[in-house]
Structure 1
Amino acid sequence: MADRRQHLLDAAIRVLGTRGPRQLTHRAVDVEAGLPEGSTSNQFRTRDALVAGVFGRLVEVETAAWDQLATELPPGDVDAFVAVLGRLIRQLTGEGRVIVLARHALFIEAAVHPELRREIGIGRERLAEWGVPLVAGLGSADPPAHFRMLLSLIDGLFSNQLAYAEDDFDPEAAIGALLRGLLPR
């Protein structure tokens, strides 16, 4: 049952990330998943339940990506941090773009759905539990604030590259500049 649920949520992410929020319907997810009509509505009775499920799955996928990033980082090495984070951003604006587009579509939905806003807040707190200590290890004097700034920069890089892809996209330059401004020399 859990595998079918995950399969449906992955299909919903693809629908959301390739067609946008207006196209996220139970029927569209059934078709994308290659399952009989009604499969999605059996798991997620309402569209709100489906959206909440998609958000939960996105948190799982993104947490796994951040966890992988953490395994590649030597502690306290700013240059390695910049390089690994830049590689992750390139991957998520390239072959992984559907995930970021789906997440951004949910962020827009959250503007009018307080429950989704609350879930996004919880997801950001979970991410901060991982990321704030990492930023502290780089020498930050205010790790929570600096981590929020880093996330804002990353979201901006995602938005700009996905909306208008630049051939010379250089996320490392922006990340490096931010960190040089925030961290002690």
Structure 2
Amino acid sequence: MPGRREQVLDAAVQVLGEQGTRALTHRAVDARGNLPSGTTSNYFRTRDALLAGILGYLFERETAAFATLAGAPRPVSVDELAGRVGALLRQLAGPARTLTLARHAIFLEAAHQEALRVELLEWSSKLWAWAGEWLAAVGSGRPEKHARQLLAYGDGLLLDRLARGGDDEFAPEASLAALLRALVADD
């Protein structure tokens, strides 16, 4: 059973991911989480505090997902890495769609709020290092630079998929493999 703070943050992610930043209010979070009025405000006095709490919560959730991937054996080929990243993107665009939309909304808020941007960069550095290890395993001579490019490309694919939708199957592996081949050859 999740604690009350986690209930608040889960409801906040739902509001943010389903309705966007304009809908994110303490009252909306209380309503979405079926929480007594004022609960969200008790944990997060201001909207900025709520946004910072959501960012930390998203990091926890995504870190757990990435830790699962990081625990897998390192990929041995560009195609294997493209397959793993493609599977992750499908998860983020499908079953984890609301979480992904909330993450993108927080990214946009970080463009205007220094405190969020600092936290985002700290977490991103960890992600770039992890992805860099996998890129080094498939032959990248500049793994951290290439990790940043790969993850930016993946976020672009996600944003396009989430914003524009599509009835076709989301299969990013071929374009990911092409990018990875170009990155590995760019040494």
TM range (shorter): over 0.9
Q: CA deviation digits over 1:29-71, x for unaligned, max 9?
A: 1111111011111111111110000000111111111122223
2: distance between equivalents of 1:153 and 1:180? 14
17-26 or 65-74: bigger deviation = 65-74
RMSD: 1.6
SS of structure 1 residue aligned to 2:99: helix
- The amino acid across from 1:172 in the alignment is E
Kindly indicate whether the alpha-carbon contact (under 8 Å) linking 1:76 and 1:139 is maintained by their aligned counterparts in 2: no
Kindly indicate whether the alpha-carbon contact (under 8 Å) linking 2:78 and 2:181 is maintained by their aligned counterparts in 1: no
Tell me the TM-score normalized by structure 2.
0.92
Q: Percent identity?
A: 48
| Number of aligned positions between the proteins | 184
Is 1:174–2:175 an aligned residue pair? yes
Kindly indicate whether the alpha-carbon contact (under 8 Å) linking 1:13 and 1:99 is maintained by their aligned counterparts in 2: yes
- The amino acid across from 2:60 in the alignment is E
Kindly indicate whether the alpha-carbon contact (under 8 Å) linking 2:18 and 2:101 is maintained by their aligned counterparts in 1: yes
Report deviation, 1:74.
4.0
Q: CA deviation digits over 1:70-98, x for unaligned, max 9?
A: 23444433322211211111111011111
Q: CA deviation digits over 1:132-168, x for unaligned, max 9?
A: 2121112101001100000110110011000112314
Name structure 2 gaps, 5 residues minimum: none
Query: Runs of at least 4 residues of structure 1 off by over 6 A?
Result: none
Correspondence list, 1:4-153, <5 A: 4-153=4-153
Kindly indicate whether the alpha-carbon contact (under 8 Å) linking 2:74 and 2:137 is maintained by their aligned counterparts in 1: no
Tell me the TM-score normalized by structure 1.
0.93
